[in-house]
Chain A
Amino acid sequence: EDQVTQSPEALRLQEGESSSLNCSYTVSGLRGLFWYRQDPGKGPEFLFTLYSAGEEKEKERLKATLTKKESFLHITAPKPEDSATYLCAVQGPGGFKTIFGAGTRLFVKA
């Protein structure tokens, strides 16, 4: 069964303290791995799509990487406005059904 596990559940950082969020996945035939940001009371906001091992994508202070078993979301010199829940999700070969992880709640303190 396709599965996504994110760690840690919550992460508290000081402003400027870089760190990484982990997403481990099990899927038979990855069609895509997705990172979303979700603010309280809002819908998931698309960040990145990764398709194959070795792929990397960047956006401002965020960088997503992908291996055959996991993905990392690296946050460089975070700011308080980066505080949110970060969701990882995968699509397998069965179509467009997307499987989500539980998310990592990130808190960045000024």
Chain B
Amino acid sequence: EAGVTQFPSHSVIEKGQTVTLRCDPISGHDNLYWYRRVMGKEIKFLLHFVKESKQDESGMPNNRFLAERTGGTYSTLKVQPAELEDSGVYFCASSQEGRNTIYFGEGSWLTVV
């Protein structure tokens, strides 16, 4: 069974540009999460989808970040315009309905220069 897949694995963009990260959850997982780890910090929660609905977006840092999950399948996280402090690893994770154990992807490493 395929795990959580993320694309791209690495990206380097200039300050002010836009980047879109994609996540495909484990098949059948209704819950999808985005997390982020910036340099030297713990992994931090960004938001949680249940199917196509945003259940909790309390961790989104500001309105430069936009997450979508159209159709309740894959999700995208757009950063526009990117700032230097957005550099870090963006992890996507998923879990089954009613189950609280979450499974992570390999992460998308973002560097803003």
Measuring CB to CB, which residues of chain A are less than 8 angstroms from any residue of chain B? 4, 31-32, 34, 36, 41-46, 49, 87, 89, 91, 94-103
Contact = CB atoms under 8 A, between A and B. Distances in A.
Given A96-B48, A97-B48, A43 B100 contact: no
27 contacts: A4-B42, A31-B100, A36-B104, A41-B106, A42-B106, A42-B107, A43-B4, A43-B106, A44-B91, A44-B104, A45-B104, A46-B101, A46-B102, A46-B103, A46-B104, A49-B100, A49-B101, A89-B43, A91-B100, A95-B48, A96-B31, A96-B33, A96-B55, A96-B95, A97-B59, A98-B102, A100-B42
Interface string B44-85: 110010000001101100000000000000000000000000
Nearest to B3: A43
A98 B45 contact: yes
A1 to B, nearest CB: 13
Contacts of B107: 42-43
B101 A102 contact: no
B55 A95 contact: yes
